[in-house]
Amino acid sequence: MSVRRIRASVVTLALAAVAALGAAGPASAADSAAAGGYVALGDSYSSGVGAGSYLSDSGDCRRSTNAYPYLWQAANSPASFDFVACSGATTSSVASSQLGVLSPSTSLVSVTAGGNDVGFADVMQDCVLSSEATCISSVNNAVSQMNNTLPGSLDSLYDGIRARAPQAQVVVLGYPRFYKLAGSCVAGLSEAERTAINNASDVLNDVIAKRSADAGFTFSSVVDEFTGHELCSGDAWLHSVSVPIYNSYHPKAAGQSGGYLPAFRSAV
């Protein structure tokens, strides 16, 4: 064989080796997360209240097959999947009733918690049924709780998650702004009430983001994903006051698949 042919053969083999390495490639982050167990913790924003198609064994927790945890596991097939998020959950009830499924082999955890600690449902009831002054006072009281008592409650929950799942990637998701200001709504809450509620959502997300960062967790906001799909936007991914009443102010199926799922997926 000539020197030229030997060199050509070496080059061909080298290129084939490079191509093979490229085809094998490193596993993606989602692949790595799926290799272990995935646990979905949290409140109604993680269980999927408002998204319909509830699992028959979930009862009043209303865990939906349209919720972002269920959608993610269906697409990624983790080694195990524990979906324990529950409507009405607070940081303390997540800690006391949901963490038992975590283990050292858990590789991925998602959680939403904090809205119920500050009386989210009561605030919205005050705003819908009472005066503007009562609404804004209720919102301000919730903001005070966000700044004063919620941080310690989040720290306690996050410490519990880390203790039980020391190797897991933990993704903490936030809450959307509810209203597009100066939007298409011609009735209902005043613009001042909508502004106060949106500002409270921002404070809540800021507190959760800071506490999750201090815990070494990943915070993923959903505000950008829901922008253009708030109430009064003309294409809302959130229910307004609805029947059944538990749907009110929760994401629709489109909010889970178009809002929460991309926010979660981008963090994994």
Positions annotated as catalytic residues are: 44, 250
Say if residue 151 is preceded by a cis peptide, omega within 30 of 0.
no
DSSP bridge partners of 110: 40, 171
Whether residue 98 contacts residue 41, with contact meaning beta carbons closer than 8 Å, is answered with yes
CA dist 80 → 34, 70, 108 (Å):
8, 12, 10
Burial of 165 from C-beta contacts in 10 A (0-12 / 13-18 / 19+): buried
Backbone angles phi, psi at 107, to 5 degrees: -105, -20
Centre a 10 Å sphere on the Cβ of residue 37 and count the other Cβ atoms it contains: 21
Residue 238, φ and ψ in degrees, nearest 5: -120, 145
Beta partners for residue 40, in sequence order: 83, 110
Q: What distance in Å separates the CA atoms of residue 268 and residue 263, rounded to the nearest whole number?
A: 9
Identify whether the C-beta of residue 102 lies closer than 8 Å to the C-beta of residue 165. Answer: yes
Give the end-to-end CA distance of the chain in Å, rounded to a whole number: 52
C-beta of residue 177 within 8 angstroms of C-beta of residue 202: yes
Which residue is associated with the tokens 């799926």? 34
